[in-house]
Amino acid sequence: MGVLGEGLTEAIRLLATADPEVLNITLRTLQVSGAATFISVAIGVPTGAFLALARFFGRGAAVSFVNFGMGLPPVVVGLGTWLFLTRYGPLGFLGILYSPAAMIIAQAIIASPIVAGFTVAAVQAVNPKLRLSILALGVTRIQYLWLLLREARLGILAAVIAGFGGVVSEVGASMMVGGNIRGETRVLTTATVLEVSKGNFELATALSAILLLLSFTITATLTYLQQRGAK
């Protein structure tokens, strides 16, 4: 059958029997990546909208910095987060290194520029004539911003999808600040790396299949909402 076939069979068995450890790892993956995505959206969407609409000295450099952040290597983010959260770092007093909270922080740092960059593009793509029409209605600044984001909702949903995809598949930063501790910080990506290093390729394939299923389910749900909004 081969490693791939055995791995898929193992994935089905683990899901069918509701293996406690696998369910725990899967739920933690969803919790960590879900929280990181939520935080990145809360930071990225307002930042992206501001950069798309505001005109100020250094705006081009700010947008370039956001675009640079979209491709920031996760291991660099992990190292930076580790240095800040380590006992002798600026935020060492929090005592959250090697915890899910540290993983959420690192993943949110990775996803925020992605969400912001997509939001900048989405808001700038709104027809300028539509912007003038909205302003002509005499709306307040908050109403103007809300209506503009409503028009750019398809692109913003694409930003959410991209942000989630960036964190749910991340492994380097999660291992550096989470430590891959069993029952505490182990998620599907780090568990897969661990099993590969141990030579358990069937189990690693099974965990990868579960990760793909989880990612596809959430992405498909967000895509459905996006396309329904397009109609």
CA distance 218 to 77: 25
pLDDT, position 28: 94
pLDDT, position 125: 84
Report CA-CA distances (Å) from 170 to 53, 106, 142: 31, 10, 35
Range of the domain at 141: 2-230
pLDDT, position 1: 54
How many domains, the chain?
1
Mean pLDDT of 154-183: 90
pLDDT, position 30: 93
For residue 61, count other CB atoms closer than 10 A to its CB: 9
* Closest residue by Cα to residue 52 from 144, 166, 138: 144
Backbone Cα Rg of the chain = 20
The confidence band for 188, taking pLDDT boundaries of 50, 70 and 90, is very high
Residue 230 pLDDT more than 80?
A: no
CATH number (domain holding residue 58): 1.10.3720.10
pLDDT, position 39: 96
pLDDT, position 190: 92
Give the residue with greater pLDDT, 194 vs 132: 194
Quick check: 99 and 185 in contact, CB under 8 A?
A: yes
pLDDT, position 27: 93
Residue 172 pLDDT more than 70?
A: yes
Query: Rounded to two decimals, what is the model's pTM?
Result: 0.89
Residue 96 pLDDT more than 80?
A: yes
Mean pLDDT of 32-52: 93
Residue 46 pLDDT more than 80?
A: yes
pLDDT, position 229: 60
* Closest residue by Cα to residue 208 from 194, 189, 195: 189
Q: How many CA atoms lie within 13 A of 78 on its CB side?
A: 16
Report CA-CA distances (Å) from 144 to 45, 80, 116, 154, 158: 15, 38, 19, 17, 22
Mean pLDDT of 23-28: 92
Q: Is 47 left (phi over 0), alpha (psi -120 to 50) or beta?
A: alpha
